Amino acid sequence: MNRWVPLRSLVSMGWLYPLAEVSQSSAADSGELAWRLAHLSRAGYPVCPTWVISTSAFEQQVQRAIAREPLWGEWPQLLWQSSPQSGHRFSQARPIQRLRQSLGSPNLDWSTSAPIADLAVGNAPTVLRLTPSLWLGEGVATLGLTQVLGEEYCWGDHQALSLAVKRLWAKGVGGRSWAYWRHGVPPSQLHFAVVVQAIAPTQVSGTLTCKGDDVTLQMVLGLPKGFNETIPDRYEGPLDRITAAAWRQGQQEQIYQPMAPPQGQDYFYSVDTTETALQRIKPDAWQPLGTWARATAAADPQPFHWHWQLPEGQSAPHITQAWAWPFTPPQTHPLRPTAGEQWQWVGRPASPGRVVAPAVVISAHQSQPAPVDYQIVVTTQIAPDWLPALKNAVAIVCEEGGLACHGAILARELGIPAVVGIPGITEQIQSGDQLRLDGDRGTLERIKAVAPLDSDPPSPEVRVPTHWDTGRTQLWVNLTQPESASSAAAWPVAGVGLLRSEWLIQPCLQQRHPYHWLAQGDGAILQTHLMDQLRPILAAFAPRPVRYRSLDLRSHELTTLIGGPAPETNPTLGVRGTFSYQQYPDLFQLELNALRALQQEGFTNVQLLLPFVRTVEEFRYCQTQVAATRLNTVTGFQLWIMAEVPSVLFLLPDYVKAGVQGIAIGSNDLTQLLLGVDRDQAIFSTTFDERHAAVQAAIAHLLQQAQSLELPTSICGMAPVRHPEIIPALIQNGITGISVDQPALAATAAAIAQAEAQLSH
């Protein structure tokens, strides 16, 4: 009795169809490989001609076999009595043999009119490649099982194709796939589609694997069969640095091409070679892969793996296979690679959120921008004195800067999305252009149609917990503006670990530099304005401490204000931090007077954090001024320093002897000074960060010293947010507090709790 549905009927039953007909909403019907290829094809990527035999064909054959000879009663016993080393024993079990024989039955028939004949290349016999296209459930990657099952090849005639399909199906219940069934996926639940592709003569072929900003490219001359017998040419590195010079040349002796005409089962022929793909193929052949990968990584952050080929007579490669892990079908198409005018860019995600709005381009030479009204600010770099004009911005885009630049800090404080590090963007965008910005993925897209602000899925509602169990490690919040005080104070944080005074004072300045206020005799007025900014923050957090970091004015940041100093050649290493207090003592005294006046109003929760302290002598000078103002006479007042200049690594015991009561590690400045890089240049921010061994060793040394000196410690840069994997080391080395921006509080609390739990075991 024939238990099979003839394969010619697959067409009429809708089980055999071209890639273009793969459903966008159902990955289970076509499997991950076919679904992802169709997804890429719809988005404009070149995908080789592909047909799909749907999962329904396999499922019906399995069900027919089971209905005739039931084996589910024996299935659980087979699974659980087999050890991980007994795949062969499993495959030889009688129920499995029956199923395999049924799936491999030869009595299939293809109609000569079946549209699968469209796969033929010209009039010559065509070699077909059959690849499993599996679906194991949401979030489950199928690349591993696909590689276990392997591929089948056949000639492009109906009988040969029928046999190849059955051989591939039979592998699905063989010993090689036993480990997957042991994890609870029996054949009745396996969605097993088949991707069918014709193999054309090929100039070069290869693979592309992309994980975040890192990519691995491999290629050989001819068909991928050459990978088994050669050392492929290889590139490993950042996604945006794929150049011919960065490749590592391999070694190749054979080039494989499809056989024609048929000679037995030899589907390929080979020719000798002493060249490699890099030596023979121009960079134009593989360079489009970098563009496609960047667009795909920007639209869908899942790691992905592609196979690609450059057919003879073509100038650009096409994609033959594609996977991602974990496999979750994205709800949007990848951004289409286009020629001509660029309309999609990838930078660094600096502040989360998504928004669609018109752009306003602010020139780097513009002294002071006009107030922004619900627009996306596109500029070279945000200056601190722009804050009053940007209060109503809906997003920020910067050409320069890393995740700790002023634009990124301001965006996180205002709770708006931001993308930084897109060189030349101000020359490519015009004011009025409609933009879609994704601060989670770091993408910016120019769109033609006006879309409402809520066109993207809304962000999940943030639920403020009443308490956190973070063990001995306290969680603090960074702050810059009084408008954020109430919402930040609602979180169960220990207090404000960093109050950035440079941003706090901006709304008070009225286009005048603080030095100009003092020079014109208006210091008392400026002090009153500063107190008005500070008062609601202290009130919102009382009695929890608020660590006010005194002004660290770099000469190049307030150049648009009246009466400021001339920009220095190297302002990062210039007159700044506590050294500047000796050069401009009146401004530091104004800050101290403001803090003292607030203490006398009853706000005894204010503390002082000194920035960019280079020497113990600088600290002693500040300490003398603090004592003269009588700030230190109030119970609860503490005088801390930022640990961000490398000299602190050697001077910490001396600082403690001089009276330092705590250190807050400024990972941003510490990183750039230790490694000799400018944190505001995006090119450095992708390579040098706080995870560098030198930076981690310095932080560990500071924390261990502080622990032996019984000195409280904190870290208030972006390091724990960008790289939560460093939190266990911070806690193990004795850090007592971590301070982050408000949007990162929940995630950081969870990371601290997890690290505390792991270290307690």
The residues that are catalytic are 406, 716
Around Cβ 160, how many Cβ atoms within 10 Å? 18
For residue 699, give Cα distances in angstroms to 423, 673, 714, 744. 32, 13, 11, 21
685 vs 675: CA distance, rounded Å:
11
Which residues neighbour 390 within 8 Å (Cβ) at sequence distance 6 or greater? 369, 372, 377, 382, 396, 410, 414
Amino acid at 563: G
Count the Cβ atoms, other than its own, within 10 Å of residue 759.
12
Cα–Cα dist 707/701, whole Å:
10
Q: In this structure, are residues 301 and 439 in contact, taking their beta carbons and an 8 Å threshold?
A: no
Query: With DSSP H G I counted as helix, E B as strand and the rest as coil, what are the percentages for the chain, rounded to 5?
Result: 40, 20, 40
* Contact assessment for residue 558 and residue 622, using Cβ atoms and an 8 Å cutoff: no
DSSP per-residue codes, 624-684: HHHHHHTGGGSTT--EEEEE-STTHHHHHHHHHHHT---EEE-HHHHHHHHHT--TT-HHH
Nearest one of 200, 279, 274 to 230, comparing CA atoms: 274
* 3-class SS of residue 287: helix
How far, in Å, CA of 102 to CA of 61, rounded?
8
* Residue 330, phi then psi, degrees to nearest 5: -65, 155
Q: Which residue from 202, 233, 446 is spatially nearest to 338, judged by alpha carbons? A: 446
Q: What is the dihedral of CA 237, 238, 244, 246, to 10 degrees?
A: -40
Extract long-range pairs of 464-471: CB within 8 Å, 24+ residues apart: 464/490, 464/491, 465/491, 465/492, 465/746, 465/749, 466/492, 467/492, 468/492, 468/749, 468/752, 468/753, 469/753, 470/749, 470/752, 470/753, 470/756, 471/731, 471/752, 471/753, 471/756, 471/757, 471/760
Tokens of 760: 């307690």
Q: What are phi and psi of 643, to 5 degrees?
A: -100, 90
Look at strands 50-53 and 127-135 and give their pairing: unpaired
- Region class of 395: left (phi > 0), else alpha (psi between -120 and 50), else beta: beta
- Expressed in angstroms, the distance from the first to the final Cα of the chain is 63
Tokens of 313: 């007579």
Cα separations (Å) of 347 from 336, 439, 444? 17, 9, 8
Name the residue type at position 494.
A
Look up tokens 């489950």; give the residue: 140
Task: Provide the 3-class DSSP secondary structure of residue 101.
Answer: helix
Which of 448, 382, 450, 467 is CA-nearest to residue 416? Answer: 382
CA 643 to chain centre: 29
**Residue (of 306, 307, 247, 239) closest to 281 by Cα position:** 247
The three state secondary structure string of 565-612 is: CCCCCCHHHCCCHHHHHHHCHHHHHHHHHHHHHHHHCCCCCEEEEECC
- Report the alpha-carbon distance of residue 592 to residue 630 in Å, rounded: 9
SS (H, E, C) 163-227: HHHHHHHHHCCCHHHHHHHHCCCCHHHCEEEEEEEECCCEEEEEEEEEECCEEEEEEEEECHHHH
CB 712 within 8 A of CB 736: yes
